């Protein structure tokens, strides 16, 4: 019936093992609402020899509800078994959240970095594609669960704030844009360019140094990019935090051929 299209919508998830290939399997939710990958503090503390959270950039989750709190981030490998029985390793940076009711949310950063796609079949089965590698991961759909908070976007700020503060920040940003004397010049300053010429080997990820107008702020967000190539592959980079003192992003070449990134290319 009209207005009922979302009824029964389920969240996709895959079975993963975190930090060690012999750790207890858990459910990794592929939640498209999350820009960044999140892991439960309760899960981390229950594991043996699990990395301790590092001090990361202070962030907020817009529309944050409940008592959720980001404690830092961890860099851990995630082990996943394919439909063919092979084990894949995904190196992941996840923010540790206190008060999260599920152990792991695989955010858009994770899905973009590894070019994950989903095939849904009429019989109700699901598979997750891993770029152009041919690997497929069996997936399942489960009913939605209460996370104890809601995620929309991640931004650089000084502390966690609620929706009203987010709206105030948005209005302030709009006022600053309107006050700029030259909108065109401002937009040009938002571009970043390759600082050097790089040759990207097939099926590899490269560290690309950026050049841009980074004055006035230490930390920046470089938006994600997916560039389709003539052979059907893509060049892609995830949504990335960069420091003006060390501006690098990861760029993946999923094609069968080398790709050239020239100095000064946007």
Those residues of the chain that have pLDDT short of 70 are: 1-11, 31-33, 56-68, 142-190, 216, 229-232, 266
10 Å Cβ neighbour count for 259?
A: 19
pLDDT of residue 153: 45
Q: Which of 103, 107, 104, 78 has its CA nearest to residue 91?
A: 78
Nearest to 36 by CA among 91, 112, 109: 109
pLDDT digits (tens, 9 = 90+) for 171-222: 665 666 665 544 444 444 567 788 888 888 888 888 899 888 777 677 777 7
Whether residue 162 is contained in a domain is answered as no
Q: In 59-162, which ranges are continuous DSSP H helix? A: 108-113
pLDDT at residue 87, as a whole number: 92
- The whole-angstrom separation of Cα 159 and Cα 246 is 24
In sequence order, the β-bridge partners of residue 156 are 59
| Counted domains in the chain | 2
Does residue 183 form part of some domain?
Answer: no
Tell me if 14 is assigned to some domain.
yes
41 in any annotated domain = yes
Same domain, 25 and 133: yes
Domain-located, residue 266: no
Q: Is residue 27, in this structure, part of any structural domain at all?
A: yes
pTM above 0.75, yes or no: no
What is the model's pLDDT at position 1? 44
Give the per-residue pLDDT at 120: 81
The edge-to-edge listing of strands for the beta sheet with 248-253 is 192-194, 204-212, 248-253, 234-237, 225-228
User: What residue has token string 């893509």?
Assistant: 234
In a domain, 163, yes or no: no
- The CB density around residue 116, as the number of other CB atoms within 10 Å, is 19
| Same domain (yes/no): 31, 132 | yes
State which of 133, 156, 179 marks the end of a domain: 156
| Domain range for 115 | 10-156
Residue 224 and residue 134 in one domain: no
- Residue 176 within a domain: no
Q: What is the pLDDT of residue 98?
A: 85
């Amino acid at each position: 019936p009209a207005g009922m299209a979302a009824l029964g919508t389920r969240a996709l998830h895959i079975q993963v093992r975190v930090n060690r290939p012999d750790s207890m399997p858990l459910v990794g939710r592929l939640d498209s609402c999350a820009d960044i990958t999140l892991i439960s503090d309760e899960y981390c503390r229950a594991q043996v020899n699990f990395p301790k959270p590092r001090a990361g950039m202070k962030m907020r989750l817009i529309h944050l509800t409940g008592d959720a709190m980001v404690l830092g981030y961890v860099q851990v490998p995630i082990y996943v078994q394919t439909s063919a029985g092979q084990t894949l390793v995904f190196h992941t940076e996840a923010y540790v959240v206190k008060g999260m009711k599920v152990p792991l949310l695989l955010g858009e950063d994770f899905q973009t970095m590894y070019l994950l796609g989903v095939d849904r079949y009429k019989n109700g089965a699901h598979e997750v594609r891993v770029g152009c590698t041919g690997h497929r991961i069996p997936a399942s759909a489960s009913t939605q669960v209460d996370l104890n908070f809601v995620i929309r976007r991640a931004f650089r700020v000084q502390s966690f704030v609620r929706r009203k503060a987010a709206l105030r920040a948005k209005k302030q940003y709009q006022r600053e844009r309107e006050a700029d004397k030259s909108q065109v010049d401002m937009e040009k300053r938002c571009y970043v360019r390759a600082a050097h010429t790089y040759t990207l080997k097939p099926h590899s990820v490269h560290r690309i140094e950026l050049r841009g107008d980074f004055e006035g702020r230490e930390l920046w967000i470089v938006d994600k990019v997916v560039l389709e190539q003539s052979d059907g592959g893509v060049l892609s980079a995830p949504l990335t935090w960069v420091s003006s003192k060390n501006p690098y992003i990861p760029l993946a070449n999923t094609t069968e051929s080398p790709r050239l990134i020239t100095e000064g290319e946007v």
